[in-house]
Structure 1
Amino acid sequence: MLPDRSEAERFLKESEEIHPGPWADHCRTAAVCAEKIAQNCEGLDPQKAYILGLFHDIGRRIETGTHFKHIVDGYQCMTDCGYDEAARVCMTHSFQIKDVDTYIGRIDVPKEVVEMVKEFLAHTEFDDYDLLIQLCDALSLPEGPVTMEKRLADIEKRYGNYPEEKRKRCYELKAYFETRMGRQLYEVIGVEKV
């Protein structure tokens, strides 16, 4: 279950008021990218994609400045709201590779929470919505959509690294959705490759 678009936007705005920061505009960018890509993929619901994009970093509503914890906070927040599909994406969006050791950033939760995330990932078969939000996260800055190169460079600058294995997986996701759409990704999301 998910809220409708206007309720999702209202929830994100309320969350941004609780903990202001660029994270909310990053989510809005991811939502718009997800919607545009879904509009070009048979079998994907653009409204659902938009809402999942809006909520992927909603854990920032609970506390800003967290790393791994925002995944778990988002999952719990969306579960508490009854939005299971959004809860799932909160958990899966940072794991293009289903391995918590590939997480970029601090592990700022107890070991038992890390184990819970490991279990969740091990028992979750990623669907196209999981993959779509992973892709859109890698295309979205608060200012708007950008090339993957620019977004990954932004992450690397802030966190000190972006593992080659994850980088490769991001480009595989790009190729996968370009094949599904039969179109170039940057054309669809309105980014000029320089």
Structure 2
Amino acid sequence: MMSLDTINTTATNPLVLLSNWLQDAAAHGAFPNPNAMSLATVDPDGRPSNRIVLCKEIDAVRGGAKFYTNYESRKAVAQAHNPFAAATFYWDAMARQARVEGVLQRLSAAESDAYFASRPIGARIGAWVSRQSRPLASKDELMGTFEEAGRGARGRDVSRPPHWGGYFLLADRVELWVARDHRLHERVLWSRPLHVNDDGSATSTGDWMSTLLYP
């Protein structure tokens, strides 16, 4: 499928465009999880790994994408040693792709608490009982632990576990891609400088600049 879209190469903030694309995908109806993005990280041994996570917000003002996960997961271990990461969205039925690269930072406890409180009770209990990415003897063991925790949570508020929370992918590169005939696809890259501190935190130090790329 070829797209009739034309990317606005003069846009001063590509994350506004990406946020609009995400809304378009949600309204399209062809995507069960229109906010799914493939997140790539690199571990302390230099090995890359990739997985699908759900982008909960494109924050164009702060300059990146939010998602939530277990802080003891493989991606979290990678982030602690190498904060650089990359994410890709692909909406095949709309002939669109978006790539975001930058630095992963933990969201504040208050922001993670607020999102966690909005989750269904089962998902909140699941966050407590899952020892993400660790070996599991059997599915029965997991379900038994979940059911026991569920009984203990009846009539009680389930707060966020300390090993679970949000990340913000602060972007320094955003590429938007639209399919074209003859594989002469349209690609526009925006980039801006980031200053990365010794503790892995980062701040933007300049404006976005756009470049048209060969397909």
TM-score of the two chains, using structure 1 as the length reference:
0.28
If each structure's strand is expressed as a fraction of its own residues, which one has the higher value?
2
TM-score of the two chains, using structure 2 as the length reference:
0.26
Higher Cα radius of gyration: 2
